[in-house]
Amino acid sequence: MDSSHGRMRMNVEDDRLSSLSDDLIHKVLSFASIKHAIQMSVLSSRWRFIWTSMPYLNFSRHDFVSLSKLSEFVTHVLSDRNNQTNLSSVHVRFDGEDSDVFVKQIMMMRSLTISNN
């Protein structure tokens, strides 16, 4: 470890997480929300696009100030995702009346997707 300028930096050899297989990294990231998984993409160049191939997507309403921001984020993630990778599960966590509004928005988006195919 390098402690120049009062900061601790790991050498590339010390980065054991990046040496894991994509499947294992995906499994580790599956315990976090997709927003946090994307934020972790700054950890290393190896992690930069790993979120785009995640088969498990976990969205949480608590990560966003409004339901519309969550909807925008879901749209962004789904459109920027690597479609060569199968999607195994999608979890969306939110409270109460948000669920009705969100489901209606998803259904509208889904019908647009179907009509464009």
pLDDT by residue (tens digit) across 90-114?
888 877 777 777 777 777 765 544 4
Angle between helices 98-116 and 67-80 (to 10 degrees): 30
Q: pLDDT value at position 19?
A: 86
In total, the chain counts a number of residues equal to 117
pLDDT of residue 76 exceeding 70, the answer is yes
Residue 57 bridge partners (DSSP): 90
pLDDT at 10 over 70: no
DSSP 83: T
Q: Taking the C-alpha atoms of 12, 42, 102 and 104 in order, what is their torsion angle to the nearest 10 degrees?
A: -90
pLDDT surpasses 50 at 80: yes
